Amino acid sequence: MTSNLSARAAEALAAIESEGLLKREREIGSPQGARVTVVGADGRRREAINLCANNYLGLANHPEVVAAAKAALDEEGFGMASVRFICGAQTGHRALERRIADYLGKEDAILFAACFDANGGLFEALLGEGDAIVSDSLNHASIIDGVRLSKAKRHRFPNGDMDGLESALKAARADGAKTVLIATDGVFSMDGHFARLADVAALAERYGAATMVDDCHATGFIGPQGRGTPHRAGVAARVDVLTGTLGKALGGAMGGYVAASRPVIELLRQRARPYLFSNSLAPAIVAGSMKAIDLAEAGDDLRAKLFANAARFRAGLEAAGFRLLPGETPIVPVMLGEADKAQALARALDARGVFVAGFVFPVVPRGQARVRTQVTAAHSEADLDEAIAAFAAAGRETGAI
């Protein structure tokens, strides 16, 4: 008997394609940057302005970051071939954990292979039966999966709805939950708006709940010295657990972390499954990320450029007649509605040398397809003006404006 696995996969793919939801990866033949070389399906290479990387501070190919990574490659080798607790903990790993903790104002930090793993491992390790997790409805997939893996009772509140949060906290308390943990993104990445952390912290205090913030789309460029949304909101001391990534503003390589009190971090070292059973970060990534944090912390000039760029780009698209979601972050979502419209605009921009991605279900809700753009500190004003002109032309061609 033959299995039908491939036939079923082919059927599912056909259904995804017929709905206009198939994601096609495009290849880049250059380092990440404000402009990249896109390699077409026909092998042709052409330059494009990149508006869809999480490279907020432009550090992904920064010479000092590359140099630090190269030096580590020579001095500490290519790979660790071990999880941390067996023989995968180099001096650099602990140094980076301490650096992250200091930067974010926490007692300690623990590295993971990705923030997806940090979020995936943290809830199960810290909470159990008899506890409750109260989660924002727009939280990242990794938080949703991590919460599912925990035995704690799950409560969900509508995005940013503080009455909804309060009701969930009341319900958790009425259930007799021993520990209640509120979990939220610091910046909601599909829409680019902030969590209401001052209100969240006040409610957490009122109901004796702990708070976890995933600051992947904030650390490095939001708040004083880029320390993130809790610092921006003035509630850093009241956020118990911070998670984040080394794969976005902080160099963009890979790796995630949790920063929290010493006992929380130590318990994660003992219990978090993606930490215990997955390989240690490569030395070059550790060293490059360390340099990226130095540059981010000292990078007021980069942040000023980033936010000036975001304002310029936003104003240009609005003047061209696009509907944007309002926001103060460098995430600028251009709303199109149906999936095919977002895909058509992305293709028309591609033809004009602007690299963007259409975001469609299931990454965003049905009917809210968009081209999510992200501005970086590496873009020049000329890059942005050229991109705005291309948007206007592509928007007219596809009927988006």
From candidates 62, 84, 193, 217, binder to ligand PLP by CB under 6 A: 217
Task: Examine the residue annotation and report whether 379 is marked as an active-site residue of this protein.
Answer: no
Q: Write the Ramachandran bin of 125: left for phi over 0, alpha for psi from -120 to 50, otherwise beta.
A: alpha
Task: Examine the residue annotation and report whether 135 is marked as an active-site residue of this protein.
Answer: no
The residue annotated as part of the active site, out of 189, 289, 341, 379, is 189
Check binding of 185 to ligand PLP (CB under 6 A): yes
From candidates 59, 216, 250, 272, binder to ligand PLP by CB under 6 A: 216
Instruction: Kindly tell me the number of DSSP H helices and DSSP E strands found in the chain.
Output: 14, 16
From candidates 55, 211, 245, 309, binder to ligand PLP by CB under 6 A: 245
Q: Which of the stretches 92-100, 210-218, 222-230, 349-357 binds ligand PLP when contact is defined by CB under 6 A?
A: 210-218
Check binding of 189 to ligand PLP (CB under 6 A): yes
Tell which positions 320-339 bind ligand PLP, by CB under 6 A. none
**C-alpha pair distances (Å), 355 with each of 37, 248, 345:** 10, 18, 11
362: preceding bond cis by omega (within 30 degrees): yes
Smallest gap, in angstroms, from Cβ of residue 214 to ligand PLP? 5
From candidates 256, 283, 330, 333, binder to ligand PLP by CB under 6 A: 256
Tell which positions 134-173 bind ligand PLP, by CB under 6 A. 140, 142
DSSP-based three-state secondary structure for 172: helix
State residue 143 phi and psi, 5-degree precision: -70, -45
Rounded-to-integer distance, Cα 246 and Cα 278, Å: 17
Dihedral (CA of 372, 375, 379, 383) sign = positive
The residue annotated as part of the active site, out of 93, 155, 248, 305, is 248
Task: Examine the residue annotation and report whether 151 is marked as an active-site residue of this protein.
Answer: no
DSSP-based three-state secondary structure for 307: helix
The residue annotated as part of the active site, out of 62, 140, 217, 231, is 217
Amino acid at 317: L
Question: Mask of contacts with ligand PLP, 101-140, x by CB under 6 A?
Answer: -------------xxx--x--------------------x
DSSP percent split of the chain into helix, strand, coil, nearest 5:
45, 20, 35
Angle (CA) 240 246 252, round 5° = 150
**Number of residues counted as binding ligand PLP (CB under 6 A):** 14
**C-alpha pair distances (Å), 315 with each of 43, 345, 385:** 35, 19, 11
By C-beta, is 217 or 227 nearer to ligand PLP? 217
Q: Which residues bind ligand PLP (CB under 6 A)?
A: 114-116, 119, 140, 142, 185, 189, 214, 216-217, 245, 247, 256
Catalytic residues: 189, 217, 248
